[in-house]
Every structure is written in structure tokens, then in C-alpha cells.
Structure 1
Amino acid sequence: MSDIIIRRPHGKTHAEARAAAEHMAAELKEEFALNYAWHGDVLHFKRTGLSGQLTLDSREVALDIRLGFLLSALKSTIEREIHRFFDENFPTGSG
């Protein structure tokens, strides 16, 4: 198992941050067949070989992903793609 952990300040209101997270999750669902569901301010997601959660608070978005054996070989590619999604949905210095 391999983990990817990303923390980023979001500089958004709670509603804006949640909308950005929802948009990001919808894009990931479409592109990577990811299933997801909200439980409070935590978005849980899963697909074969990958699971994790995205947590929102008033200042920060936190992403924790666990990669299965086969996807761990693609960790750097997956992490680069996640940073691209974060750059689009939670740009540094937004707000």
C-alpha cells in the first residue's frame, strides 16, 4: 500500500470550498470511475485499487489517499494529476 497526503489552505467560504470539492469529485468520477459520498464535511471516495477521503475545514482542504498494490506503481503520475485538480479547484492564494 502507498499513501498520498495533500494539505492546502483554500481561502474560500465553507460553501465555496464544498462546491469546489464537489466539482473536483465529479470530474474525478467521470475521468477515473470514482464513486464518492459526503458524510458531513468529509468526502469519501473509492474505486478498485484506491480509496480515501477529502476533508474540509474553515481554512484547509486535506486529501488522504491509499493506493493498492497495482496503482502504487503509478503514484507519481496520480499525485501529479491530483495537484493539477487542486490547482484548478483550490488555487493557492484564492479568496
Structure 2
Amino acid sequence: MSDIIIRRQHGKSLAEARASAEHMAAELKEEFDLDYIWIGNVMRFKRPGVAGELSVNDQTVALNIRLGLLLFALKPAIEREIHRFFDENFPS
């Protein structure tokens, strides 16, 4: 297993941060077939080989992903894609 952990300050209200996270999740669902559910301000998601959560508050957004063995080799590409999504939805 391999983990990807990303935390970023966002400068948005909690409602705006959650809306950005929802937009990001919808794109990831469409592109990578991720299933997700919100529990409070934490979005939990998974698909075969990937599981994790994205949490938002009024200051930060935090992403924790656990990659399965088959996706371990793709970790650098997945991490780049995640940073791109963060840059689009939570610019610093």
C-alpha cells in the first residue's frame, strides 16, 4: 500500500470550500469512476485499488489516499493529477 497525503489552505468560506470539493469529486467520479459519500465535512471515496477521504474546514482542505498494490507504480502520475485538481479547485 502507498499513501498520498495533501493539505492546503484555501482562503474560502466553508460553503465555498465544500462546493469546490464537490465539484472536484464529481470530476473524479466521471473520470475515474470513484464512488463517494459525504459524512459531515468529510467526503469518503473508493474504487477498486483506491480509498481515501477529503476533509474541508473553513481554513484547509486535506486529502488522504491509500493506493493498492496495482496502482503503486502510478503514484507519481496520480499525485500530479491530484495537484492539478487542487490547483484548479483550491488555488493558493
Tell me the TM-score normalized by structure 1: 0.96
Structure 2: 5+ residue stretches without partners: none
Q: Report the equivalent of 1:70.
A: 70
Distance 1:14 1:57 in 2: 6
Structure 1: 5+ residue stretches without partners: none
Letter of the 2:20 counterpart: A
Structure 1 residue 9 corresponds to structure 2 residue 6: no
Distance 1:40 1:72 in 2: 30
Q: Report the equivalent of 1:39.
A: 39
Tell me the TM-score normalized by structure 2: 0.99
The list of structure 1 runs, each at least 4 consecutive aligned residues, that deviate by more than 3 angstroms after superposition, is: none
Deviation at 1:53, TM superposition (A): 0.1
Distance 1:61 1:18 in 2: 9
Give the root-mean-square deviation of aligned CA atoms.
0.4
**Number of positions where the alignment pairs a residue of Structure 1 with one of Structure 2:** 92
- Percentage identity across paired residues of the two chains: 71
Cα deviation code 1:55-94 (max 9, x no counterpart): 11110000000000000110000000000000000000xx
Task: Tell me the SS of whatever aligns to 2:12.
Answer: coil
Distance 1:42 1:56 in 2: 7
Task: Tell me the SS of whatever aligns to 2:64.
Answer: strand
Distance 1:20 1:48 in 2: 25
